[in-house]
A and B are shown apart, each in its own frame.
Chain A
Amino acid sequence: MAQLENRTGRRLVAGIPLFWLVLFFLIPFIIVLKISFSEVRLAMPPFAPLFQWVHGVPRPKLHFGNYGFLFTDPLYVTAYLYSIKVALVSTVCCLLIGYPMAYAIAHASPTWRNVLLMMIILPFWTSFLLRVYAWIGLLKNNGVINNVLMYLGLIHEPLPMLQSDFAVYIGIVYSYLPFMILPLYANLEKHDNTLLEAAADLGANPVTAFFRITLPQSVPGIIAGSLLVFIPAVGEYVVPSLLGRTDQLMIGRVLSDEFFENRDWPVASAVAILILLALVIPIMLFQRFQQRELEAQK
């Protein structure tokens, strides 16, 4: 009896979220994939059906034009490559800034550690949109940074910083820095200091000890943090829209424009599929890492 109740209960507990995610996460992707092979038309919904009924048998009519279009128009190719470049540079910057910060937190006293961690997390709880918006006020031609530099006499003309690659890097690094620091901290905090002491006893200087012991041990944290920054940054929409160049769009913006401005749902879907293709390996790496982390806690 209890055995039976147990089994139905388990089926329900696992089955309800599984059903929900299949309906609202998996099926939507299949629909995107399907529409990316459809032909655009002026109707609602604005695409032709994929299957045509020929003598009572559904026959698929695959249309590869959307993908062909994306590869022939340089606008899409450059936006695609530009997004990957921006995401890569931002990830490296996050790592270079975040690693020493995580290291310092992991080596602080326990009380300080909690305070510092809270200070890293706090901006994350305030609106992402507003934090990006704040940089407009700082980077503008008559913004805070230019005013301070001119007041100090370091420059005489305002530096044009807004609507540049630089502004996009700042915006992405600023928004995603906590995602880099937290996994790095979680990793660095677990390190065993006896290894470093042994290295010091054997005559290694601190720099050598860092590169030969600490850094190799923190590789899992580096990978997790980098994936958490890189994957969403490729499709980033808000930061480039508010701070970025107007002559070079990122791929997330291209997708959104195809959908909202051109109302070309099939091309927007094809763009989504191509972004996913670039991210499929990083996403799978991230999943494997997550699972391993949870297993290790046991």
Chain B
Amino acid sequence: MTSRGLFSRTALVFGLVFLYVPILSMIVFSFNNSRLVTVWDAAHSPTLKWYGELLSNGQIVGAAWLSIRIALVSATGAVTLGTLTGVALARFGPFRGRTLLSGMTTAPIVMPEVITGLSLLLMFVALEQLIGWPKGSGALTITLSHITFCMAYVTVVVQSRLVGFDESLEEAAMDLGARPATVFFRVTLPLIVPAILSGWLLAFTLSWDDLVITQFVAGPGSSTLPMVIFSKVRLGVSPDVNALATIMVMIVTLGITISAVWMRYQNRRRERDEQLAAAANL
């Protein structure tokens, strides 16, 4: 192995340690009996008491439920709008408003969240003054904001998937007399299903996780889970937050493992089908 390979591999190992030590420490200390989060109480640990405390905390469970509902609606809305945008940018060639559209899809990805949050709230206030809708801030304004910043990510995922495919399949369907809507639903959509699925998951995670934009547009009545966690950890570390983090890491790991296995299975099946098709053609 060259010295360069050795150096970069060492850096990779240290980098991964850096990425995972904080997560592992949360998991370990979620089973710690002591309230002093970082002092290990060997006599009474491991214990599940913080998990019990977490699940009996009505405020956290209520906030989690609100966050899930907002994330479900936001991800679905973001996927719909993001797919439309991705198709328009990847397939329509030059059209009026294209530059504006593509500019407005990449900008939200890097825009500092405080700016997005402030501008959305000021817009909602102005809109309410003008037409009386939306009435005050709450779940509705949070959802509208989440759709807006999540759809940019979906667009990028869908667009790059579409750009990777050439248009010959769609053109063939057109030549055979299929109407544009039929072409979209029978040819284009099945091709980009993986991108749509991963876009939906990405949007769900981003919405579920967002604190800063949500704080601006939430209003007094509705607290999402990140808002509750933030106000809790600002006062210092608390062990039930470790338990919550552990549960979330477990769910994500499980989800990613399942999707990786499923994708491998799909790939294998496609390869087998292609081989069969090739054999049949001989």
Contact B38 A142 (CB under 8 A): yes
Contact A138 B8 (CB under 8 A): no
Residue from the list B3, B38, B145 in contact with A147, Cβ < 8 A: B38
| B42 to A: closest C-beta gap in Å | 14
List chain A positions with a Cβ less than 8 A from chain B. 2, 5-6, 9-10, 13-14, 16-18, 20-29, 31-32, 35, 45, 97-98, 100-101, 103-105, 107, 114, 116, 118-123, 125-131, 133-138, 140, 142-144, 147, 174, 177, 206-207, 210, 227-228, 231-232, 234-238, 241-242, 252, 255-256, 259, 265, 268-269, 272, 275-276, 279, 282-283, 286-287, 290-291, 294, 297-298
Q: Which residues of A contact B248 (CB under 8 A)?
A: 126-127, 130
In the complex, what distance in Å separates the CA atom of A90 from the CA atom of B11? 17
Known: A272-B115, A286-B110. A123 touches B101 (CB 8 A): no
Contact B7 A100 (CB under 8 A): yes
Contact A10 B148 (CB under 8 A): no
Contact A241 B234 (CB under 8 A): yes
Cβ of B120 within 8 Å of any chain A Cβ, yes or no, is yes
Residue from the list B81, B212, B229 in contact with A237, Cβ < 8 A: B212
Residue from the list A9, A140, A232, A297 in contact with B237, Cβ < 8 A: A140
Number of contact residues on B: which range applies? 35 or more
Contact A17 B245 (CB under 8 A): no
Q: Flag B214-249 by CB within 8 Å of A: 1 or 0 each.
A: 011000000000100110011011000110110011
In the complex, what distance in Å separates the CA atom of A298 from the CA atom of B244? 44
| A133 to B: closest C-beta gap in Å | 5
Look across to chain B and name the residue whose beta carbon is closest to the beta carbon of A181. B15
Contact B249 A235 (CB under 8 A): no
Interface residues of chain B: helix, strand, loop or mixed (majority): helix
In the complex, what distance in Å separates the CA atom of A269 from the CA atom of B180? 45
Cβ of B172 within 8 Å of any chain A Cβ, yes or no, is no
Contact A237 B122 (CB under 8 A): no
Q: Flag B74-86 by CB within 8 Å of A: 1 or 0 each.
A: 0000000110110
Q: Which residues of B contact A265 (CB under 8 A)?
A: 122
Contact A235 B8 (CB under 8 A): no
Known: A105-B12, A290-B106. A14 touches B38 (CB 8 A): no
A selection of 10 A-B contacts at a CB cut-off of 8 Å is: A20-B81, A20-B147, A21-B148, A22-B100, A24-B148, A97-B18, A134-B23, A147-B38, A279-B110, A290-B156
Q: Chain A interface: which of B46-54, B55-63, B158-166, B269-277? A: B158-166
Residue from the list B21, B164, B237, B256 in contact with A122, Cβ < 8 A: B256
Q: Which residues of A contact B120 (CB under 8 A)?
A: 24, 28
Residue from the list A134, A147, A207 in contact with B245, Cβ < 8 A: A134
